[in-house]
């Protein structure tokens, strides 16, 4: 086994930012807005680094697809303990259309190229909430998948994954190589400390384009419109039970 783990990290708008829709409803405002690593990707990196600290794997490679600024996200992953990074450059219209299908094709190609033993991804990104990339990547590679992981244990050439599902917790054992997606309770990601940020500057980030991996980025989706959720309307106070019943009838609810 190569002992190499690929971790996908996505640059998204920071979770604390108030999102605003562009006036022409074509998308959301991203210019000048604070971006950071998707929180589930932080958890994925943390898990990979923990596995390395326990000496169960040998190398953590952080991967990000996007424009120049995605390198900052890779640097954060390196500061958290990843060994090296791969920046797959996607810009302009291609970047706007970049979605789970394209990213999973890239991840699958990289997994083969890097002879990865394990791919760990966040379960979903907080901007699109797709929750598809991990699953698609596994399908493209024909690898088993352990999604919504709240616990991961490497046992020889298998991985034991405890999954958070609606009914409770499901424990599965899958063969490696495999894809795992991280859920919220998998771990608490460490902060990048200044000394580690400084060390990370010396770690390598390889640059490549999707074409180098033979990946076609054509999207089959077109975003028609983005709208804000409807504004909350003020409530109405009523004086009597009759009034209440009357209003409910008016609204057609009874």
Q: Which residues bind other proteins (CB under 8 A)?
A: 14, 16, 34, 36-37, 76, 79, 188, 191-197
**Cβ 201 to other proteins, closest distance in Å?**
12
CB nearer other proteins, residue 14 or residue 170: 14
140 vs 197, which CB is nearer to other proteins?
A: 197
Judged by beta carbon, residue 73 or residue 137, the one nearer other proteins is 73
State the nearest-atom distance from the C-beta of 96 to other proteins, in Å. Answer: 24
The residue among 220 and 232 lying less far from other proteins, judged by its C-beta, is 232
Q: How far is the CB of 139 from other proteins (least distance, A)?
A: 32
Least Å distance, CB 153 to other proteins, is 16
Both tokens of residue 16?
């604390």
Q: Please, which residue, 68 or 175, has the CB nearer to other proteins?
A: 68
Q: Minimum CB separation from other proteins for residue 189, in Å?
A: 9
Quick one: 4 or 75, whose CB is closer to other proteins?
A: 75
CB of 195 to other proteins, least distance (A): 6
Instruction: Say which residues have a Cβ less than 8 Å from residue 70's Cβ, sequence separation at least 6.
Output: 11, 64, 87
41 contacts 10 by C-beta, under 8 angstroms: yes
């Amino acid at each position: 086994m190569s002992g190499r783990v690929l971790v996908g990290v996505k640059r998204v708008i920071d979770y604390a930012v108030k999102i605003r829709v562009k006036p022409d409803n074509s998308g959301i405002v991203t210019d000048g807005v604070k971006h950071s690593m998707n929180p589930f990707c932080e958890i994925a990196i943390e898990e990979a680094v923990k596995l390395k600290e326990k000496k169960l794997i040998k190398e953590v490679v952080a991967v990000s697809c996007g424009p120049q600024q995605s390198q900052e996200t890779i640097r954060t992953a390196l500061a958290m303990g990843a060994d090296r990074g791969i920046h797959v450059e996607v810009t302009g219209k291609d970047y706007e259309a970049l979605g789970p299908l394209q990213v999973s094709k890239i991840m699958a190609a990289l997994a083969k190229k890097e002879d990865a033993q394990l791919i760990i991804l966040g379960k979903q990104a907080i901007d699109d909430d797709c929750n598809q990339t991990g699953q698609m990547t596994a399908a493209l590679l024909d690898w088993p998948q352990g999604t919504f992981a709240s616990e991961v244990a490497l046992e020889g050439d298998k991985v034991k994954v405890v999954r958070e599902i609606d009914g409770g917790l499901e424990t599965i054992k899958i063969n490696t190589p495999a894809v795992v997606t991280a859920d919220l309770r998998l771990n608490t990601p460490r902060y990048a400390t200044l000394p580690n940020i400084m060390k990370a500057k010396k770690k390598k980030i390889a640059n490549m384009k999707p074409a180098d991996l033979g990946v076609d980025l054509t999207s089959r989706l077109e975003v028609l419109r983005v709208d804000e959720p409807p504004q909350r309307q003020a409530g109405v106070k009523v004086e009597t039970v009759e009034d209440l019943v009357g209003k409910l009838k008016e609204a057609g609810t009874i």
